Amino acid sequence: TKVVAGNIRKTREFRNYTQDYLAAKLGISQNAYSKIELGYSRLTLERLFQISTVLEVEVMQLISFDDIELTQIASPSRKIILNT
């Protein structure tokens, strides 16, 4: 969980997005979003997909990547279409 939380934070910072911005996009408070990045909140699969969509990366990039692969997020990834 801490690895995923750290990857979310790194990706957000790489995109120059604030925690407030992501929280607003997700419809949660900045404090609640901060707890996600710190690994204090349980992250549901649905929330993980929402975060990946806002960050314009594939979920797999958030689940596991190393610093070398961080350059892959430099260009927008394919859009994920969710059937709702």
Cα separation, 67 vs 58, whole angstroms: 16
Residue 84 is assigned to a structural domain of this protein:
no
Cα separation, 81 vs 41, whole angstroms: 26
Classify the phi-psi angles of 43: left when phi > 0, otherwise alpha if psi is within -120 to 50, otherwise beta. Answer: beta
Structural domain that includes position 21: 2-74
User: What is the CATH classification number for the domain harbouring 27?
Assistant: 1.10.260.40
Residue 39 is assigned to a structural domain of this protein:
yes
Residue 82 is assigned to a structural domain of this protein:
no
Please give the average pLDDT of every successive group of 10 residues along the chain, which has 84 residues: 90 96 98 96 95 95 66 51 43
Residue 83 is assigned to a structural domain of this protein:
no
Residue 79 is assigned to a structural domain of this protein:
no
Cα separation, 6 vs 62, whole angstroms: 9
pTM > 0.75: yes or no: yes
Residue 53 is assigned to a structural domain of this protein:
yes
Residue 20 is assigned to a structural domain of this protein:
yes
Residue 29 is assigned to a structural domain of this protein:
yes
Report how many domains make up the chain: 1
What pLDDT score does 64 carry? 76
